[in-house]
Amino acid sequence: MYHNLELREKVIDYVENKGSVTKASRIFGVSRASIYRWLTRENLKPTIVKYRHRKLNWSALYRDVIENPDDKLIERANKFGVTVPAISYAFKRMKITRKKTVTL
C-alpha cells in the first residue's frame, strides 16, 4: 500500500523523537514492518522504477510463431522458460490471435 511522503515523515519524526515503533504503528495506522523499512532508508520519497526486466523476448517469440505456427502455448512456454499466461499475455499485446480454421 502506498503512503504519502507527509505521513512517512510524521511517523519517522514521531519514532525518532518520542517513542516506540509499536505506538507509532497504532497511532498512524501503518504496519511496523513499513516503519522499520522507512527507518533504514536514506530518502523517504517513493522510488520510481524506470525499466522492468522482462524474461520473455517478444521479438524472439514473434520469430518462433512465424517459424513454428502449430506449436501449442505450453510448448512455447517451455521453450522460453516462462508460464503459459505469460505467452498468452504477450500474444494479446502483440495482437496475435489463435489460428482460425476456414470453413467452406
pLDDT at 1: 61
Burial class (CB in 10 A: 0-12, 13-18, 19+), 15: buried
What average pLDDT does range 33-58 have in this prediction?
Answer: 84
Q: What is the pLDDT of residues 52-74, one digit of tens each?
A: 777 888 899 999 999 998 889 99
Dihedrals φ, ψ of 63, to 5°? Answer: -60, -40
- Residue 61 · residue 29 · CB < 8 Å: no
pLDDT at 85 over 90: yes
Domain boundaries, the chain: 5-40, 58-94
The answer to which of 21-25, 42-46, 69-73 has the lowest mean pLDDT is 42-46
Where is average pLDDT lowest: 26-40, 61-75, 89-103?
89-103
Position 52 scores a pLDDT of 72
